[in-house]
Structure 1
Amino acid sequence: MLTNEIMKEIYQFREAHAKAFNYDVAAMFADWRNRQANSGKCSVTLPPQMSDKSLERTGQK
């Protein structure tokens, strides 16, 4: 099945990328940010949104 082949390739890429950064999530994220910045494509950064549940906890709802 084609989907399984695609998923296998994605998992292999993810594993190789994680291994290259010694499974350091911060370093992996920094690499993705650099790739994004150097891609030449536009990107949008949205501010975090609060969920209704977080508003309930703070009593601001």
Structure 2
Amino acid sequence: MKDPILECVRQVRDEHSKRFNYDLDAICEDYKTHQALVGKRLVRLKPRAANDGLQPAARFARGGCGSR
């Protein structure tokens, strides 16, 4: 089942990326420029904790895909 909202977001993202020939540095600079014009941060990411304490997925811990 297709989600129309996701389809729209992906279309807008692709159109924006095409404007910069899919150059990630140029895309980020555009976001920074827009952020400066707006006068507030567009994205705020919380620092992620280290993944040292994570356990492997159960199927891999058992020795393979579906094995018991």
- TM-score, structure 1 normalization: 0.61
Tell which has more relative contact order, 1 or 2 (C-alpha 8 A, sep 6+): 1
Unaligned stretches of 5+ residues in structure 2: 53-68
Pair 1:4 & 2:3 matched: yes
Q: Relative to structure 1, is the Cα distance of residues 5 and 30 closer, same or farther in structure 2, using a 3 angstrom cutoff?
A: same
> 1:38 matched to which residue of 2?
37
Structure with the higher helix share, 1 or 2: 1
- TM-score, structure 2 normalization: 0.56
Deviations 1:7-48 (A, max 9, x none): 01100011001100001000000000011110133x3878x7
Percentage identity across paired residues of the two chains:
38
Q: CA RMSD in A?
A: 2.8
Unaligned stretches of 5+ residues in structure 1: 54-61
> 1:24 matched to which residue of 2?
23
Moved segments of 4+, more than 6 Å: none
Aligned residue pairs total 50
